[in-house]
Amino acid sequence: MKLSRRTFLKSSGVATAGLAVATAVPEKFLLWAEEAGLIKATYVPTFCEICFWKCGAIAKVLNGRVVKLDGNPVHGNSRGKLCARGNGGIGLLYDKDRLKSPLINVGKRGEGKYRKASWDEALGLVAEKMKGIKQQHGPEAMALFTHGAPTDHFLPLLSAYGTQNVGMPSFAQCRGPRDVGYELTFGEGPGSPERVDMINSKVIVLIGSHLGENMHNSQVQDFTEGLGRGAKLIVVDPRFSIAAGKAQQWLPIRPASDLALLLAWINIIITEGMYDRPYLDQFAEGFSDLAQAVSHCTPQWAEQETDIPAAQIMETARMMGQNAPAVTIHPGRHATWYGDDVQRSRALAILTALLGSWGRSGGLFMATKGSLTKGESKPFPEPGKEPLNTGGYPFAGAEGVTQAIREATISGAPYPIKGWFVSGTNLLKALPDQKRTLEAINKLDLLVVVDVMPMDTAMMADVILPECSYLERYDALAIGKGKSLSVSLRQPVIKPLYESQPGWWIAKELANRLDLADYFPWTTYEEKIKAQCVTAGISYDDLKKLGSLTIPDTAAPYITPENQPVFKTASGKIELSSKELKEKGFDPVPVYVRHPQPPEGFFRLTYGRSAVHTFSRTTNNPALNELYKENEVWINAKKAQALGLKNGEYVLLINQDGAKSNRIRVKATQRIREDMVYMVHGWGSTPKELSRSSLKGADDQGLVTRYAVDPIAGSTGMRVNFVKLQKEA
C-alpha cells in the first residue's frame, strides 16, 4: 500500500510532534518514515557526559526522538567517533528507571520511602533547611561533594552560600596524587585529557594503565595510531590487560612494588648515561641528589622487590633511553593505590624529565598558551572558618579531601558539618570505607542529591532533585587546552523528559530561594553562554552550528627556541629533587618502602575499568548493560583449581576485616598473577529502582574497608585490601 505523507502523518500522530507522541512512536517506525521521505531528521551538536572526556557528539533527532549519536568530526576528543559508552547516551536518556520528579523522603534514611513533590516544594524545603543550618552553625556546616558538569552550577551556589568545604572524589580517590607529583616536578599537572603525545612516540610505557579497557576516546585513538606507526610498548601490569596483549614487553609486576621498578629504571638511565644532559642542564636541578638517592636501586635489587627479572628491567630501560625523547611515560589517571602515590607519580615525572620527554614530540606535549576569558562573576564571601577540606595535608588542593569532610561530619570537630549537597557523584561507590560514609550520612540534618538516576547515594537523600540528562540541557562551555585551544558547547538536543530539570536551573532556583540571586544574574543559561562568547570574541552562532571551535594558536606544543617552557616550581626549574617536599619534611627524592603482601589464603584486591561502563553510573544503562551485565572476579587459573573453583560459578569475596561482597562470577584465567584478584569497579548497586543492575555483580568498594592515606596530598590508597573467595552456599 502506498502511504501518502499526509495519510502517514495523520495515522501516526507524528504531525502533532508533541513529546509524548514522539516517545510513543516506535523508533523503527520513525526510521522507516525517514527512509520513506515522510519526515526529516535534525542534527544537533553537543558533547558527551557518559564520562568526563567530553567528546563532541552529534545527535540525530527524528520527530523529537533521539535515534542516533555520532562523534563530531570537528571535535578533538572524538574526531568523528564515540566509544560504546558514548553511544549509550540514548540509553540513559530513555532509561525508564530515571528519576522523574523531585522526591522527598518519608521514611528512615535509606529505607527508600519517598513521595513525589513539586519543584517548588522540594526546592523550598532544601532552601529552608540550608538557611536553618547557616543560622545555627554557620555556612561552613554545609559541604558540597561533586563531580563533572554539575560542579559548574553547584560550586558557585555553595560558594555564594558561604562554604568552601568542597570534596571531589576525582582528587582524593583518583588523580589527585598524580597531579601533585607532576606539579612538584614540573610546576603543572599532565592535564586532563593527559597531554601524552603517543601518536608520535617511539616507546610508550603504561604502568597500571589499562588503556583500551580504560576507554578515553581520543587517547585510545592516539595509542592505537602510535602503535600502528611502530611505537614499541612496555606494559607494567600484574594482569595481562588488553594493552599488554599488544606489548613487546609485559612486566607482570608484584603489586605494590612499582616504585622499586621506577627507581631502578631511573638509576639505569643515569648510570648508563642515557639521560638528556643538555636538556637537564638547561631546565632541571637536583640531578646529583637524585643520582645519589637512587644509586642503590640496581636491577638486581629491583628484581627482588618486583619479581621482574633484572635483565628485563635493563632491557626496558635501554629501550626508553635509546628512543628518548620520543618516549611517553603515561602518567596514569586513577593513581590512589598504596598511600605513597605522590612519590610514585614523582618517579614517573622524574623519569620523563631524565629522558627529556616533557615538552618534546613523542613525549608529553606542552599545553597551548592560549586562553579564553569567560567573564567575571560577583566575588564569593570569604570563609568565616578555616575550610576543613584539605584535611591538614600540605599539598591537598581546592578539590578537597573528601574523607576529611566525612570524618569531620562524624566527629563534629573542629566544627560541625550538618548538611551535604551531592551532585554528579555516587559517594557510596567512590569513597573507601562505606560504613564510615553511612555513619556520616546518618549524622546529617540534610542530605540533598542531584542526579539523573536513582543511584545508591541518591536513595539515601532527604530530598532528591532529578537532573535531566546531558542530552536535554545546557552546561558550561568546555574549554580544551590540548595542542590547541578549543571551546565546545553542550546544548539541549530535546526538551527535558518527565519533570527533570537542568542543573543550572536547579542551582538558580535554589539561589533565588537562598537570597543569592545576585550570583546568577541571567535568565537562561543560553543567555549566559552568549555573553561569554561575546567577551571571548567567538561567534555563538558558529559554536551552536558546529558544536566546537578551535582557536588558532601560533605556539607549537613542543619546546623550540621561540616556545620555551615555564616551570612554576619553587626553583622555576624541573625539580628532580623537590625543594618544596624537603621544606615540608618529606623525602625530596622518592624512597621505596615495602608494602604488606597478602596473608596466607588471601589475595590482593585490585580493580579497574570496563570499556563499556563508567563506574556505577552506567551499570543500569539499557544499551550498555546489554553488553556487560555484571562484573567477574579474575583469579589465576592455578589458584582457582586449587580452591576447586570453576569458571562462571558464583563466589562471595570476604576481606581481611570480614566485609562480605555480593555474589560474583569467577573468571579463572592465566592472565593474572597468583597473588591477586581483579574486578571491574562500580557494580553491586543496591537500589531496587535500578531494574537491570540492582545487586548484580559485586561492589569492590564495599571491600575497601582500609585505605592508606598519602601524607603529602591526603589521597586514599585503596589497593591495600586482601580478600578470600568463598563458594556460594
Least separation in angstroms between residue 243's CB and ligand SF4 is 16
| Residue number, 477 or 708, with CB nearest to ligand SF4 | 477
Q: Does 628 contact ligand SF4 by CB under 6 A? A: no
Closest by Cα among 637, 610, 638, 635 to 625: 610
Least separation in angstroms between residue 727's CB and ligand SF4 is 36
Q: Does 82 contact ligand SF4 by CB under 6 A? A: yes
Binding residue for ligand SF4, selected from 45, 86, 190, 363, defined by CB under 6 A? 86
Count residues near ligand SF4 (CB under 6 A): 13
| Residue number, 50 or 652, with CB nearest to ligand SF4 | 50
DSSP 650-664: EEEEEETT--BPPPE
| b/e per residue 667-685 (b: at least 16 CB within 10 A) | bbbebbbebbbbbbbbbbb
Q: Does 616 contact ligand SF4 by CB under 6 A? A: no
- Strand 203-207 to 327-329 pairing: parallel
| Residue number, 54 or 239, with CB nearest to ligand SF4 | 54
Of 79-87, 158-166, 384-392, 466-474, the segment contacting ligand SF4 by CB under 6 A is 79-87
How far apart, in Å, are the Cα atoms of 355 and each of 195, 270, 351, 364, 470?
16, 10, 6, 11, 42
Binding residue for ligand SF4, selected from 38, 44, 62, 83, defined by CB under 6 A? 83
Cell of 77: 576528543
Least separation in angstroms between residue 371's CB and ligand SF4 is 23
Q: Does 50 contact ligand SF4 by CB under 6 A? A: yes
Q: How many whole angstroms separate alpha carbon 112 and alpha carbon 666?
A: 31
Closest by Cα among 61, 58, 60 to 45: 58
Helices then strands (H, E): number in the chain? Answer: 25, 27
Q: How many whole angstroms separate alpha carbon 327 and alpha carbon 359?
A: 11
Binding residue for ligand SF4, selected from 217, 390, 402, 469, defined by CB under 6 A? 217
How far apart, in Å, are the Cα atoms of 709 and each of 64, 345, 717?
49, 15, 6
Q: Does 418 contact ligand SF4 by CB under 6 A? A: no
Of 47-55, 437-445, 635-643, 649-657, the segment contacting ligand SF4 by CB under 6 A is 47-55
| Residue number, 476 or 633, with CB nearest to ligand SF4 | 476
Q: What SS3 class is residue 69?
A: strand
The residue with its CB nearest to ligand SF4 is 86
| Residue number, 56 or 496, with CB nearest to ligand SF4 | 56
Cis peptide bond upstream of 193, omega within 30? yes
Q: Does 85 contact ligand SF4 by CB under 6 A? A: yes
Q: How many whole angstroms separate alpha carbon 53 and alpha carbon 316?
A: 31
Least separation in angstroms between residue 548's CB and ligand SF4 is 13
Q: Does 505 contact ligand SF4 by CB under 6 A? A: no
Cell of 96: 525508564
In Å, the largest CA–CA distance within the chain is 86
Of 17-25, 82-90, 158-166, 454-462, the segment contacting ligand SF4 by CB under 6 A is 82-90
| Residue number, 45 or 167, with CB nearest to ligand SF4 | 45
Q: How many whole angstroms separate alpha carbon 621 and alpha carbon 500?
A: 18
Binding residue for ligand SF4, selected from 44, 48, 144, 261, defined by CB under 6 A? 48
Closest by Cα among 383, 370, 323, 401 to 563: 370
Q: How many whole angstroms separate alpha carbon 377 and alpha carbon 371?
A: 17
| Residue number, 215 or 428, with CB nearest to ligand SF4 | 215
Least separation in angstroms between residue 89's CB and ligand SF4 is 7
Binding residue for ligand SF4, selected from 33, 51, 143, 493, defined by CB under 6 A? 51
Closest by Cα among 50, 74, 336 to 215: 50
Q: What SS3 class is residue 232?
A: strand
Least separation in angstroms between residue 614's CB and ligand SF4 is 6
- Which x/- pattern, by CB under 6 A, does the window 52-71 give for ligand SF4? -xxx----------------
Of 49-57, 147-155, 563-571, 654-662, the segment contacting ligand SF4 by CB under 6 A is 49-57
Give me the residues that bind ligand SF4 (CB under 6 A), please. Answer: 48, 50-51, 53-55, 82-83, 85-86, 215-217
